[in-house]
Structure 1
Amino acid sequence: MSNLTDTQIRVLELAAARADALAMPLPKGLHGAAAKKAVARMVDHGFLEEVDANASRDEPLWRETGDVHGKTLIATEAGLAAIGLSPAEIRNRLDRRYPVATEPTPSAPRAGSKQARLIEMLSVPGGATVAEISEATGWQPHTVRGTISGTLCKKLGLDVISEKTEGRGRVYRFSSS
Protein backbone atom coordinates (compact mmCIF):
# COMPACT_ATOMS: atom_id res chain seq x y z
CA MET A 1 0.00 0.00 0.00
CA SER A 2 1.12 3.52 -0.68
CA ASN A 3 1.08 6.38 1.84
CA LEU A 4 -2.65 6.45 2.48
CA THR A 5 -4.31 7.70 5.63
CA ASP A 6 -6.53 5.37 7.64
CA THR A 7 -9.55 7.27 6.33
CA GLN A 8 -8.48 6.90 2.71
CA ILE A 9 -7.82 3.18 3.20
CA ARG A 10 -11.29 2.74 4.75
CA VAL A 11 -12.98 4.58 1.85
CA LEU A 12 -11.17 2.40 -0.72
CA GLU A 13 -11.81 -0.83 1.21
CA LEU A 14 -15.53 -0.09 1.34
CA ALA A 15 -15.52 0.68 -2.40
CA ALA A 16 -13.59 -2.54 -3.10
CA ALA A 17 -16.19 -4.49 -1.12
CA ARG A 18 -18.93 -3.30 -3.47
CA ALA A 19 -19.33 -5.07 -6.79
CA ASP A 20 -19.27 -1.84 -8.81
CA ALA A 21 -16.47 -0.17 -6.77
CA LEU A 22 -18.84 2.63 -5.78
CA ALA A 23 -17.25 4.72 -3.00
CA MET A 24 -20.55 6.08 -1.75
CA PRO A 25 -21.84 6.16 0.87
CA LEU A 26 -18.71 7.21 2.70
CA PRO A 27 -17.76 5.51 5.99
CA LYS A 28 -19.79 6.42 9.06
CA GLY A 29 -18.45 9.49 10.78
CA LEU A 30 -16.86 10.92 7.65
CA HIS A 31 -18.89 13.96 6.61
CA GLY A 32 -18.74 17.69 6.16
CA ALA A 33 -15.40 19.42 5.70
CA ALA A 34 -13.42 16.30 6.61
CA ALA A 35 -15.17 14.31 3.88
CA LYS A 36 -14.62 17.07 1.32
CA LYS A 37 -10.92 17.28 2.18
CA ALA A 38 -10.39 13.50 2.09
CA VAL A 39 -12.27 13.07 -1.18
CA ALA A 40 -10.53 16.05 -2.82
CA ARG A 41 -7.10 14.58 -1.99
CA MET A 42 -8.15 11.13 -3.25
CA VAL A 43 -9.46 12.61 -6.51
CA ASP A 44 -6.24 14.63 -6.91
CA HIS A 45 -4.16 11.46 -6.40
CA GLY A 46 -6.35 9.55 -8.90
CA PHE A 47 -7.73 7.10 -6.32
CA LEU A 48 -11.35 8.24 -6.72
CA GLU A 49 -13.23 9.62 -9.70
CA GLU A 50 -16.42 11.69 -9.86
CA VAL A 51 -18.92 10.26 -12.34
CA ASP A 52 -22.56 10.93 -13.17
CA ALA A 53 -24.79 9.06 -10.74
CA ASN A 54 -27.13 6.51 -12.26
CA ALA A 55 -30.56 7.62 -11.10
CA SER A 56 -32.22 4.42 -12.29
CA ARG A 57 -30.07 2.44 -9.82
CA ASP A 58 -30.58 4.99 -7.01
CA GLU A 59 -26.85 5.51 -6.60
CA PRO A 60 -26.07 7.78 -3.66
CA LEU A 61 -24.89 11.26 -4.58
CA TRP A 62 -21.60 12.83 -3.59
CA ARG A 63 -22.75 16.24 -4.72
CA GLU A 64 -25.62 17.88 -6.56
CA THR A 65 -24.80 19.40 -9.93
CA GLY A 66 -28.08 21.10 -10.73
CA ASP A 67 -28.82 18.77 -13.65
CA VAL A 68 -30.72 15.53 -13.49
CA HIS A 69 -27.71 13.39 -12.61
CA GLY A 70 -25.60 14.64 -9.75
CA LYS A 71 -22.17 13.14 -9.08
CA THR A 72 -21.13 10.00 -7.23
CA LEU A 73 -17.68 8.60 -6.48
CA ILE A 74 -16.06 5.41 -7.73
CA ALA A 75 -12.71 3.88 -6.90
CA THR A 76 -10.28 3.92 -9.83
CA GLU A 77 -7.82 1.24 -10.86
CA ALA A 78 -5.10 3.20 -9.06
CA GLY A 79 -7.21 3.39 -5.91
CA LEU A 80 -7.96 -0.33 -5.90
CA ALA A 81 -4.30 -1.12 -6.60
CA ALA A 82 -3.27 1.19 -3.73
CA ILE A 83 -5.02 -1.10 -1.24
CA GLY A 84 -3.38 -4.20 -2.68
CA LEU A 85 -5.92 -5.62 -5.12
CA SER A 86 -4.45 -7.63 -7.97
CA PRO A 87 -4.98 -6.57 -11.61
CA ALA A 88 -7.39 -9.51 -12.09
CA GLU A 89 -9.51 -8.41 -9.13
CA ILE A 90 -9.53 -4.84 -10.43
CA ARG A 91 -10.61 -5.99 -13.92
CA ASN A 92 -13.37 -8.09 -12.38
CA ARG A 93 -14.73 -5.06 -10.49
CA LEU A 94 -14.49 -2.82 -13.54
CA ASP A 95 -16.33 -5.41 -15.65
CA ARG A 96 -19.16 -5.40 -13.10
CA ARG A 97 -19.19 -1.60 -13.02
CA TYR A 98 -19.56 -1.34 -16.80
CA PRO A 99 -21.50 -4.46 -17.83
CA VAL A 100 -21.96 -5.27 -21.50
CA ALA A 101 -25.33 -4.01 -22.63
CA THR A 102 -27.71 -6.71 -23.73
CA GLU A 103 -31.00 -6.35 -25.51
CA PRO A 104 -33.88 -6.68 -23.08
CA THR A 105 -36.15 -9.57 -23.89
CA PRO A 106 -39.75 -8.46 -23.61
CA SER A 107 -41.98 -10.87 -21.77
CA ALA A 108 -45.39 -11.87 -23.02
CA PRO A 109 -48.29 -10.29 -21.16
CA ARG A 110 -50.07 -12.44 -18.61
CA ALA A 111 -53.07 -14.23 -20.14
CA GLY A 112 -56.32 -12.47 -19.34
CA SER A 113 -54.62 -9.21 -18.36
CA LYS A 114 -55.70 -5.82 -19.64
CA GLN A 115 -52.48 -5.57 -21.61
CA ALA A 116 -53.21 -8.92 -23.28
CA ARG A 117 -56.72 -7.69 -24.10
CA LEU A 118 -55.26 -4.51 -25.62
CA ILE A 119 -52.89 -6.54 -27.79
CA GLU A 120 -55.81 -8.72 -28.94
CA MET A 121 -57.84 -5.65 -29.88
CA LEU A 122 -54.97 -4.14 -31.89
CA SER A 123 -54.33 -7.46 -33.64
CA VAL A 124 -57.70 -7.64 -35.40
CA PRO A 125 -57.71 -6.24 -38.95
CA GLY A 126 -59.96 -3.28 -38.06
CA GLY A 127 -57.94 -2.28 -35.00
CA ALA A 128 -59.57 -0.40 -32.12
CA THR A 129 -60.29 3.16 -31.08
CA VAL A 130 -59.30 4.66 -27.75
CA ALA A 131 -62.96 4.66 -26.70
CA GLU A 132 -63.32 0.94 -27.50
CA ILE A 133 -60.13 0.09 -25.60
CA SER A 134 -61.22 2.25 -22.63
CA GLU A 135 -64.55 0.43 -22.48
CA ALA A 136 -62.90 -3.02 -22.65
CA THR A 137 -60.18 -2.30 -20.08
CA GLY A 138 -61.75 0.32 -17.82
CA TRP A 139 -58.77 2.62 -18.44
CA GLN A 140 -58.96 6.36 -18.95
CA PRO A 141 -58.17 7.52 -22.52
CA HIS A 142 -54.79 8.99 -21.48
CA THR A 143 -53.84 5.63 -19.94
CA VAL A 144 -54.72 3.85 -23.18
CA ARG A 145 -52.56 6.20 -25.25
CA GLY A 146 -49.71 6.00 -22.73
CA THR A 147 -49.80 2.20 -22.69
CA ILE A 148 -49.75 2.06 -26.48
CA SER A 149 -46.83 4.48 -26.70
CA GLY A 150 -44.83 3.46 -23.64
CA THR A 151 -45.45 -0.23 -23.11
CA LEU A 152 -46.31 -1.58 -26.54
CA CYS A 153 -44.08 0.59 -28.73
CA LYS A 154 -41.13 1.47 -26.50
CA LYS A 155 -40.84 -1.46 -24.08
CA LEU A 156 -42.16 -4.33 -26.17
CA GLY A 157 -41.01 -2.93 -29.52
CA LEU A 158 -44.32 -3.54 -31.26
CA ASP A 159 -45.15 -1.49 -34.35
CA VAL A 160 -48.47 0.26 -33.67
CA ILE A 161 -49.89 2.63 -36.23
CA SER A 162 -52.80 5.00 -35.93
CA GLU A 163 -54.95 6.31 -38.72
CA LYS A 164 -58.17 8.25 -39.02
CA THR A 165 -61.02 6.26 -40.50
CA GLU A 166 -64.40 7.47 -41.69
CA GLY A 167 -67.08 7.00 -39.06
CA ARG A 168 -64.80 5.66 -36.28
CA GLY A 169 -62.18 8.39 -35.80
CA ARG A 170 -58.60 7.49 -34.87
CA VAL A 171 -57.99 3.74 -34.98
CA TYR A 172 -54.92 1.99 -33.56
CA ARG A 173 -53.67 -1.33 -34.92
CA PHE A 174 -50.49 -3.29 -35.47
CA SER A 175 -48.83 -2.51 -38.78
CA SER A 176 -49.07 -6.15 -39.88
CA SER A 177 -52.86 -6.25 -39.25
Structure 2
Amino acid sequence: MPKLTGTQTIILSRAATRPGNLAMPLPDGLHGAAAKMAVNRMITNGWVEEVDADLRKGEPLWRETGDGHGTTLVATEAGLVAIGIAPVAASDAPKPVAIRAGTKQAQVIALLQRPEGASIAEIVEATGWLAHSARGLISGGLKKKLGLQITSEKIEGRGTVYKLDAA
Protein backbone atom coordinates (compact mmCIF):
# COMPACT_ATOMS: atom_id res chain seq x y z
CA MET A 1 0.00 0.00 0.00
CA PRO A 2 1.35 3.47 -0.85
CA LYS A 3 2.67 5.54 2.03
CA LEU A 4 0.84 8.69 3.11
CA THR A 5 2.63 12.02 2.98
CA GLY A 6 2.38 14.43 5.89
CA THR A 7 -0.07 16.59 3.94
CA GLN A 8 -2.29 13.64 3.10
CA THR A 9 -2.27 12.53 6.73
CA ILE A 10 -3.40 16.01 7.82
CA ILE A 11 -6.20 16.08 5.22
CA LEU A 12 -7.51 12.66 6.30
CA SER A 13 -7.16 13.40 10.02
CA ARG A 14 -9.17 16.60 9.68
CA ALA A 15 -11.78 14.82 7.56
CA ALA A 16 -12.22 12.19 10.27
CA THR A 17 -13.31 14.91 12.71
CA ARG A 18 -15.82 16.57 10.39
CA PRO A 19 -19.45 15.59 9.79
CA GLY A 20 -19.70 13.21 6.88
CA ASN A 21 -15.89 12.93 6.77
CA LEU A 22 -15.71 16.07 4.64
CA ALA A 23 -12.10 16.62 3.51
CA MET A 24 -12.60 20.27 2.60
CA PRO A 25 -11.34 22.88 3.26
CA LEU A 26 -7.78 21.80 2.63
CA PRO A 27 -5.00 22.91 5.01
CA ASP A 28 -3.87 26.55 4.82
CA GLY A 29 -1.13 27.07 2.27
CA LEU A 30 -2.14 24.06 0.16
CA HIS A 31 -3.51 25.30 -3.15
CA GLY A 32 -2.89 25.30 -6.87
CA ALA A 33 -0.82 22.54 -8.44
CA ALA A 34 0.33 21.16 -5.08
CA ALA A 35 -3.26 20.71 -3.89
CA LYS A 36 -4.30 19.13 -7.19
CA MET A 37 -1.37 16.70 -7.11
CA ALA A 38 -1.99 15.66 -3.48
CA VAL A 39 -5.74 15.22 -3.96
CA ASN A 40 -5.42 13.37 -7.28
CA ARG A 41 -3.03 10.88 -5.68
CA MET A 42 -5.45 10.42 -2.77
CA ILE A 43 -8.34 9.80 -5.20
CA THR A 44 -6.21 7.31 -7.15
CA ASN A 45 -5.37 5.44 -3.94
CA GLY A 46 -9.04 5.43 -2.88
CA TRP A 47 -8.48 7.54 0.25
CA VAL A 48 -10.86 10.35 -0.80
CA GLU A 49 -13.60 10.63 -3.38
CA GLU A 50 -15.31 13.46 -5.18
CA VAL A 51 -19.00 13.85 -4.44
CA ASP A 52 -21.55 16.44 -5.49
CA ALA A 53 -21.33 19.47 -3.23
CA ASP A 54 -24.52 20.55 -1.52
CA LEU A 55 -24.31 24.31 -2.00
CA ARG A 56 -27.43 24.84 0.13
CA LYS A 57 -25.57 23.38 3.11
CA GLY A 58 -22.57 25.56 2.32
CA GLU A 59 -20.21 22.68 1.61
CA PRO A 60 -16.88 23.97 0.31
CA LEU A 61 -16.10 23.27 -3.32
CA TRP A 62 -13.13 21.28 -4.55
CA ARG A 63 -13.84 22.10 -8.18
CA GLU A 64 -16.63 23.40 -10.38
CA THR A 65 -18.00 21.02 -12.97
CA GLY A 66 -18.90 23.75 -15.43
CA ASP A 67 -22.65 23.27 -15.37
CA GLY A 68 -23.31 25.40 -12.31
CA HIS A 69 -22.55 22.54 -9.97
CA GLY A 70 -19.46 21.51 -8.10
CA THR A 71 -17.81 18.71 -6.22
CA THR A 72 -16.32 18.40 -2.77
CA LEU A 73 -14.02 15.79 -1.26
CA VAL A 74 -14.97 13.14 1.30
CA ALA A 75 -12.61 10.73 3.06
CA THR A 76 -13.40 7.07 2.36
CA GLU A 77 -13.24 4.16 4.79
CA ALA A 78 -9.95 3.20 3.14
CA GLY A 79 -8.63 6.69 3.86
CA LEU A 80 -9.60 6.44 7.52
CA VAL A 81 -8.03 3.00 7.80
CA ALA A 82 -4.86 4.38 6.18
CA ILE A 83 -4.43 6.76 9.14
CA GLY A 84 -5.35 4.10 11.69
CA ILE A 85 -8.96 5.07 12.36
CA ALA A 86 -11.68 2.47 12.16
CA PRO A 87 -15.05 4.06 11.33
CA VAL A 88 -17.84 3.25 13.78
CA ALA A 89 -21.42 4.09 12.87
CA ALA A 90 -23.42 5.91 15.53
CA SER A 91 -26.64 4.14 16.40
CA ASP A 92 -28.99 6.89 15.23
CA ALA A 93 -26.97 8.43 12.39
CA PRO A 94 -25.49 7.00 9.20
CA LYS A 95 -22.29 9.07 9.44
CA PRO A 96 -19.16 7.22 10.55
CA VAL A 97 -17.36 8.48 13.63
CA ALA A 98 -13.75 7.98 14.52
CA ILE A 99 -12.65 6.58 17.86
CA ARG A 100 -8.90 6.14 18.22
CA ALA A 101 -7.85 3.03 20.07
CA GLY A 102 -5.75 3.50 23.20
CA THR A 103 -7.19 6.91 24.13
CA LYS A 104 -8.97 7.77 27.35
CA GLN A 105 -12.14 8.33 25.32
CA ALA A 106 -11.91 4.74 24.04
CA GLN A 107 -11.25 3.59 27.61
CA VAL A 108 -14.41 5.34 28.86
CA ILE A 109 -16.47 3.87 26.00
CA ALA A 110 -15.24 0.39 26.96
CA LEU A 111 -16.30 1.01 30.57
CA LEU A 112 -19.74 2.17 29.46
CA GLN A 113 -20.17 -0.90 27.22
CA ARG A 114 -19.83 -3.30 30.16
CA PRO A 115 -23.12 -4.92 31.22
CA GLU A 116 -22.85 -3.15 34.59
CA GLY A 117 -21.93 0.20 32.99
CA ALA A 118 -19.77 2.67 34.91
CA SER A 119 -20.24 5.33 37.55
CA ILE A 120 -18.47 8.68 37.48
CA ALA A 121 -16.26 7.47 40.36
CA GLU A 122 -15.19 4.42 38.31
CA ILE A 123 -14.45 6.58 35.26
CA VAL A 124 -12.43 9.01 37.41
CA GLU A 125 -10.43 6.13 38.87
CA ALA A 126 -9.71 4.64 35.43
CA THR A 127 -8.78 7.91 33.69
CA GLY A 128 -7.36 10.09 36.44
CA TRP A 129 -9.73 12.87 35.41
CA LEU A 130 -11.82 15.06 37.67
CA ALA A 131 -15.53 14.23 37.92
CA HIS A 132 -16.63 17.25 35.87
CA SER A 133 -14.33 16.18 33.01
CA ALA A 134 -15.85 12.70 32.96
CA ARG A 135 -19.39 14.13 32.91
CA GLY A 136 -18.35 16.56 30.15
CA LEU A 137 -17.03 13.74 27.98
CA ILE A 138 -20.25 11.79 28.42
CA SER A 139 -22.60 14.68 27.62
CA GLY A 140 -20.54 16.66 25.12
CA GLY A 141 -18.13 14.23 23.53
CA LEU A 142 -20.06 11.00 23.43
CA LYS A 143 -23.73 12.04 23.33
CA LYS A 144 -23.56 15.26 21.31
CA LYS A 145 -20.50 14.91 19.08
CA LEU A 146 -20.50 11.16 18.46
CA GLY A 147 -24.27 10.69 18.78
CA LEU A 148 -23.95 7.66 21.07
CA GLN A 149 -27.02 6.56 23.03
CA ILE A 150 -26.02 6.65 26.69
CA THR A 151 -28.50 5.99 29.47
CA SER A 152 -28.16 6.64 33.18
CA GLU A 153 -29.82 5.29 36.28
CA LYS A 154 -29.28 5.67 40.01
CA ILE A 155 -28.14 2.47 41.66
CA GLU A 156 -27.97 2.05 45.43
CA GLY A 157 -24.37 2.03 46.58
CA ARG A 158 -22.90 3.14 43.24
CA GLY A 159 -24.69 6.38 42.50
CA THR A 160 -25.54 7.30 38.92
CA VAL A 161 -24.42 4.59 36.52
CA TYR A 162 -24.02 5.29 32.80
CA LYS A 163 -24.39 2.63 30.11
CA LEU A 164 -23.86 2.68 26.37
CA ASP A 165 -26.94 1.21 24.73
CA ALA A 166 -26.24 -1.61 22.30
CA ALA A 167 -27.39 -0.63 18.80
User: What per-residue deviation string (whole Å, max 9, x for no partner) do you get for residues 32-76 of structure 1?
Assistant: 100000000000000000010011101000001112320100000
Identity %, equivalent residues: 60
Corresponding residue for 2:94? 95
1:47–1:77 CA contact under 8 A, matched in 2? yes
1:68 to 2:68 alignment: yes
Q: Distance in 1 between matches of 2:87 and 2:38?
A: 25
Q: How many equivalent residue pairs?
A: 94
Q: Please report how far the alpha carbon of residue 17 of structure 1 lies from its aligned counterpart in structure 2 after TM superposition.
A: 1.1
In the other structure, the counterpart of 2:22 is: 22
Q: Does 1:80 align with 2:80?
A: yes
Distance across 1 between alignment mates of 2:65 and 2:87: 33
CA–CA distance in structure 2, aligned partners of residues 29 and 42 of structure 1: 18
User: Tell me, what secondary structure is at the counterpart of 1:95?
Assistant: coil
Q: Mark the runs of 5 or more structure 1 residues left unpaired by the alignment.
A: 98-177
| CA positional deviation for 1:2 | 6.3
Conserved? CA contact 1:2–1:82, under 8 Å? no
**Secondary structure, counterpart of 2:81 in structure 1:** helix
**Cα distance, 1:12 vs. partner?**
0.2
**What's the counterpart of residue 44 of structure 1?**
44
C-alpha separation between the residues in 1 aligned to 2:37 and 2:77? 21
The C-alpha deviation readout for 1:4-51, integer Å capped at 9, x for no partner, is 100000000110110210000001111110000000000000000001
SS of corresponding position for 2:64: coil
AA at the equivalent of 2:61: L
- Whole-Å Cα distance in 2 between the matches of residues 87 and 12 of structure 1? 12
Q: Secondary structure at the match of 1:41?
A: helix
Question: Greater strand share, 1 or 2?
Answer: 2
2:58 is aligned to: 58
Alpha-carbon separation, structure 2, partners of 1:27 and 1:48: 15
Partners of 1:66 and 1:2 in 2: how far apart? 32
1:6 and 2:6 aligned:
yes
Deviation at 1:86, TM superposition (A): 1.7
Q: How does 1:163-174 map to 2 (within 5 A)?
A: none
For 2:39 and 2:9, the matched residues in 1 are separated by 12
Greater gyration radius:
1
CA distance in 1, matches of 2:21, 2:40: 18
TM-score, structure 1 normalization: 0.50
Q: Bigger CA drift: 65-74 or 46-55?
A: 65-74
Q: CA RMSD in A?
A: 2.0
Runs of 4+ in 1 over 2 A off after TM superposition: none
* Aligned residue identity for 1:96: K
